């Protein structure tokens, strides 16, 4: 069934709309739409590892292992601004996220060779990390878990539905991630309650995107810098309430140190996985096929899918993500109402 847009208001160039310092904490939810081929054909079930590249010479940060679908594609979402690399049997392929929206990366794998029979190799036990505490998992009774490095971060529960992860650094507790589940509320209601204490609302950067740890759920970002303290909150509808991440980072003026702190905090949020993430309902009425006519009489079509992806068909065809008020394309945003 066709639906109709009441208006498509404007196209806003991303480069002009969003500018943020390198020290900001998780400023944008970028997405890489990766296509993997082998001998020119889609490479199904191909394995690749994603890393955030440390441009200051330190070790790159491992973000996760990914597997392509039957069409040789996969989506890596919630990527902050910076340089990344896909590592696979083809070597390393680099891409850069400069803001919200899509990056489209292509990896061509080498042709497969007949597998040679190899002698059995005795597996040795894995080398243990320092006192066994390096990689820890926090498991919440609210149905999700987070990973963190206990040599860098201290975790503690602060309530029945909340916990915080504090960096063991010179900031004396100022650098931290707090995660909470709030029952019977909606994301924008919770965000207003949190950000109303931040002062002037016009100084708050508001963005939307794919919610951390998912590829088909929606979330809302608010970022604000008050002197040397950067605050970022992320909220999404989650299992009858709101899952809220609050990130605080104390800026030192040393860009290398500030980026390292931001990376550690982002890694905690990016590590989240869910045991059962129920369907979000607040925008359940939006998915569908929409048509509209411009002032010149030209008709265009917008297809919005339940996973917040979509297609804009007007002169050219463009992939989009859709949120509460905007369609986000690779190089533009289109405000809309339904």
Domain range list for the chain:
21-109, 131-208+216-274
Q: Give the largest Cα separation in the chain, rounded.
A: 72
Tokens, residue 299: 């008709």
What whole-number distance in Å separates Cα of residue 233 and Cα of residue 196?
12
Q: Write down the pLDDT at residue 29.
A: 64
Q: Which of 25, 78, 83 is nearest to 259 (CA)?
A: 25
Contact indicator for 226, 199 with CB cutoff of 8 Å: yes
CATH of 131-208+216-274, one of 3.30.360.10, 3.30.413.10, 1.20.1200.10, 3.40.1000.10: 3.40.1000.10
CA–CA distances in Å: residue 241 to residues 100, 107, 187, 279: 26, 39, 8, 12
- With a CB cutoff of 8 Å and minimum separation 6, the contacts of 229 are 174, 248, 249, 250, 251
Tell whether the model's pLDDT for residue 211 goes beyond 50.
Answer: yes
**Stretch 239-264: mean pLDDT, rounded?**
91
**Stretch 266-273: mean pLDDT, rounded?**
93
**196 vs 2: which has the higher pLDDT:** 196
**Stretch 158-162: mean pLDDT, rounded?**
94
Going by their DSSP bridges, the two strands 153-159 and 162-167 should be labelled as: antiparallel
What whole-number distance in Å separates Cα of residue 207 and Cα of residue 18?
10
Tell whether the model's pLDDT for residue 129 goes beyond 70.
Answer: no
What whole-number distance in Å separates Cα of residue 108 and Cα of residue 190?
44
Query: How does the average pLDDT of the chain come out, rounded?
Result: 82
**Stretch 49-67: mean pLDDT, rounded?**
85
- With a CB cutoff of 8 Å and minimum separation 6, the contacts of 262 are 23, 24, 25, 26, 80, 249
Q: Write down the pLDDT at residue 25.
A: 44
- Residue pLDDT, tens place only, 304-324: 999 999 999 877 888 999 999
Placement of tokens 């909340």 in the chain: 162
- Residue pLDDT, tens place only, 103-128: 889 999 998 766 555 444 343 344 44
Q: Write down the pLDDT at residue 147.
A: 93
Contact indicator for 231, 237 with CB cutoff of 8 Å: no
Q: What is the edge-to-edge ordering of all strands in the sheet holding 218-226? A: 153-159, 162-167, 176-183, 241-250, 229-238, 218-226, 205-210
Contact indicator for 162, 178 with CB cutoff of 8 Å: yes
Region of poorest pLDDT, from 2-6, 93-97, 197-201, 224-228: 2-6
Class of domain 21-109: mainly beta
Tell whether the model's pLDDT for residue 24 goes beyond 80.
Answer: no
Tell whether the model's pLDDT for residue 248 goes beyond 70.
Answer: yes
Q: Write down the pLDDT at residue 170.
A: 74
Q: Write down the pLDDT at residue 167.
A: 93
**How would residue 27 be classed by pLDDT, with cut points 50, 70 and 90?**
very low
**200 vs 107: which has the higher pLDDT:** 107
Contact indicator for 73, 31 with CB cutoff of 8 Å: no
What whole-number distance in Å separates Cα of residue 142 and Cα of residue 21?
34
Q: DSSP labels for 14-65?
A: HHHH----TTSSS---EEEEEEEEETTEE-TT-EEEEEE--TTSSPPEEEEE
Q: Which of 307, 306, 303 is nearest to 317 (CA)?
A: 303
- Residue pLDDT, tens place only, 71-101: 899 888 777 777 899 999 989 999 888 766 6
Integer distance in angstroms from the first to the last C-alpha of the chain? 14
Q: Write down the pLDDT at residue 17.
A: 31
Tokens, residue 80: 């902050």
Q: What is the edge-to-edge ordering of all strands in the sheet holding 7-13? A: 2-4, 288-293, 299-304, 309-314, 316-322, 326-328, 332-337, 7-13
């Amino acid at each position: 069934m066709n639906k109709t847009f009441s208006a498509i208001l404007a196209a806003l160039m991303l480069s002009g709309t969003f500018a943020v310092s390198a020290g900001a904490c998780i400023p944008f939810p970028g997405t890489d739409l990766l296509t993997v081929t082998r001998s020119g054909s889609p490479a199904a079930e191909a394995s690749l590892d994603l890393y955030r590249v440390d441009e200051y010479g330190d070790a790159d940060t491992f973000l996760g292992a990914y597997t392509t679908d039957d069409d040789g594609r996969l989506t890596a979402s919630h990527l902050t601004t910076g340089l990344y690399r896909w590592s696979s049997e083809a070597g390393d392929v680099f891409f850069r996220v400069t803001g919200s929206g899509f990056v489209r990366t292509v990896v061509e794998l080498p042709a497969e060779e007949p597998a040679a029979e190899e002698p059995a190799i005795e597996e040795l036990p894995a080398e243990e990390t320092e006192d066994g505490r390096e990689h820890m998992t926090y498991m919440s009774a609210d149905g999700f878990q987070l990973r963190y490095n206990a040599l860098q971060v201290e975790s503690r529960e602060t309530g029945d539905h909340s916990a915080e992860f504090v960096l063991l650094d010179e900031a004396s507790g100022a650098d931290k991630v707090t995660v909470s589940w709030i029952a019977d509320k909606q994301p924008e209601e919770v965000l207003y309650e949190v950000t109303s204490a931040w002062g002037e609302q016009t100084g708050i950067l508001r963005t939307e995107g794919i919610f951390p740890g998912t590829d088909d759920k929606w979330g809302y970002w608010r970022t604000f810098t008050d002197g040397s303290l950067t605050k970022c909150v992320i909220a999404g509808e989650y299992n009858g309430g709101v899952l809220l991440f609050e990130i605080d980072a104390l800026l030192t003026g040393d860009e290398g140190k500030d980026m390292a702190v931001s990376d550690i905090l982002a890694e905690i949020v990016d590590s989240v996985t869910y045991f059962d993430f129920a369907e979000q309902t607040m925008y359940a009425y939006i998915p569908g096929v929409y048509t509209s006519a411009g002032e010149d009489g030209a008709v265009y079509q917008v297809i919005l899918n339940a996973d917040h992806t979509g297609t804009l068909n007007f002169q050219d065809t463009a992939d989009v993500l859709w949120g509460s008020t905007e369609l986000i394309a690779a190089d533009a945003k289109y405000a809309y109402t339904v």
